[in-house]
Amino acid sequence: MLRIALCDDNADELANFTQLVDLYRASRNLNCNFEVFPNGVELVSALEKGKSFDIYCLDIIMPGFTGIEVAKEIRRFDKTAPIVFFTSSPEYALESYSVKAVNYILKPITKEKLFITFDELLEKIKAEKDEDAIVVKSNEGIQRILVSNLVFAEVIGRNVFYHLRSGKVIECTEPFASACDKLMKFGCFFKPHRSYLVNMEYVDTIENHQMRLRTLSSIPIAQGRVKELKQQYLKYQMGELMEVAL
């Protein structure tokens, strides 16, 4: 079920928008729900009460609470959901990138514009969902982490820290056992130490007391586990080579 939020202070524009989304849903036989919001305050209030959406469609020029400001609030709750701006003015195009908007469409909104935009969005969403990923609730909001971008996870106290290839670290308050359960099912992780879970794609060398990663990080190895880890790593690499050969 795809969830879409539509926000515009102009009642006529919102009615037109709703009708076009309904047409799109019917033409694509799409299983989706959408909610309309006459201003940004009501949309943000819904998010604060626990609602979330897969796509946000916002007018930019709204009294009191502009679409850019609403988008900044959305990013407090959700770092990755696509945001699309529909507006009568091109002057905010550059500012829209500050909230990682995926598209900026000038009004009037036509069937052709909306259908092309949504087709591209759904293709992007499908591609991302097909790629292995986990969803975590961090101190910055709900975030989606691609397994291919995750180098290692570590636990410090009651917090789990996800270290990404980019150097970014995402901090979450969750049991480390829960993080391990989510990640171990992907088959590319192993646990060299009770406080670490490492993506084998990023291992450079395995030494007696530590392993070095391609990101230049060093991870401790628990006593007596070196031989077992080397065997796991070799088995993983051989499996990868077999898949490439096939």
Reported residue count of the chain is 246
- Residue 161 tokens read as 């820290």
> What are φ and ψ of residue 110, in 5° steps?
-110, 165
Dist CA 118 CA 29 (whole Å): 13
Give the chain as a DSSP string: -EEEEEE-S-HHHHHHHHHHHHHHHHHTT--EEEEEESSHHHHHHHHHTT---SEEEEES--SSS-HHHHHHHHHHHBSSS-EEEEES-GGGHHHHGGGT-SEEEESSP-HHHHHHHHHHHHHHHHHHHHS-EEEEEETTEEEEEEGGGEEEEEEETTEEEEEETTS-EEEEES-HHHHHHHHHTTSSEEEEETTEEEEGGGEEEE-SSEEEETTS-EEE--TT-HHHHHHHHHHHHHHHHHHHH-
- From first to last of the 246 residues of the chain, give the pLDDT tens digit: 789 999 999 999 999 999 999 999 999 888 888 899 999 999 999 999 988 899 999 999 898 889 999 999 998 888 888 999 988 877 766 676 678 778 888 888 899 999 999 998 888 877 766 678 898 988 788 888 989 899 999 999 999 999 999 899 999 999 999 999 999 999 899 999 999 999 999 999 999 899 999 999 999 999 999 999 999 998 888 775 444 333
Dist CA 158 CA 135 (whole Å): 18
* pLDDT attached to residue 107: 87
Closest CA to 150 of 192, 194, 191, 183: 183
- Residue 81 tokens read as 């959901």
Angle, CA 103 vertex, CA 98 and CA 104 arms, to 5°: 85
Dist CA 211 CA 221 (whole Å): 7
* pLDDT attached to residue 155: 97
* pLDDT attached to residue 246: 36
* pLDDT attached to residue 2: 86
| pLDDT tens figures, 175-194 | 999 999 999 999 899 999 99
Dist CA 23 CA 94 (whole Å): 30
* pLDDT attached to residue 144: 86
Dist CA 36 CA 42 (whole Å): 10
Q: Positive or negative CA dihedral for 6, 14, 117, 94?
A: negative
**Is 79 within 8 Å of 28 (Cβ atoms)?**
no
Q: Which domains does the chain have, with CATH numbers?
A: 2-130 (3.40.50.2300), 135-245 (2.40.50.1020)
* pLDDT attached to residue 93: 67
